[in-house]
Amino acid sequence: MVEHVQAGSEKISDYAAVGGGAAVASVVDLFYQSVLADPQLAGYFADTDLTRLKRHQVQLVSQVMGGPVSYEGADLAAAHRGRGITDEDFGLVVAHLIKALEAHSVPQEITDRVVQALGATQGDIVTAP
């Protein structure tokens, strides 16, 4: 089956539209490259297994883009609990994600949907005043 062929009025997923798993993996690689290069954020990831983190983030982003992939990582509130993450940190992380999506020429409306879906996790992730 050719992934990009549209049958009737059926729309392809955002996941397929951006180029599938390889494209999402590339976005997530660039995303963590810039998160880890950000002096306000790098310290949070000092003890993190980055391979596992990236694998889970690829799953999560793929899932919110309607891809045939399920998130298998920890509950997001549990994964971020006790880390003292602030609203400002959260905003910086989202900005790095937007940059990574834009660098891969992901269309604005798809970027908006991804940011809206992941942005909705803010209440689970931000625990610092």
Could you list the residues known to form a binding site for heme, using ranges. 56, 80
Alpha-carbon gap, residue 109 to 103, rounded angstroms: 15
CB 105 within 8 A of CB 17: no
Q: How far is the CB of 43 from ligand HEM (least distance, A)?
A: 9
Nearest residue (CB) to ligand HEM, 12 versus 123: 123
Number of residues forming the site for ligand HEM (CB under 6 A): 23
Does 52 participate in binding ligand HEM (rule CB under 6 A)? yes
Cβ-contact 80, 127 below 8 angstroms: yes
* Residue 79 within binding range of ligand HEM, rule CB under 6 A: yes
The answer to whether 84 and 126 are in contact (CB under 8 A) is no
Q: Which stretch binds ligand HEM (CB under 6 A): 5-13, 26-34, 77-85, 102-110?
A: 77-85
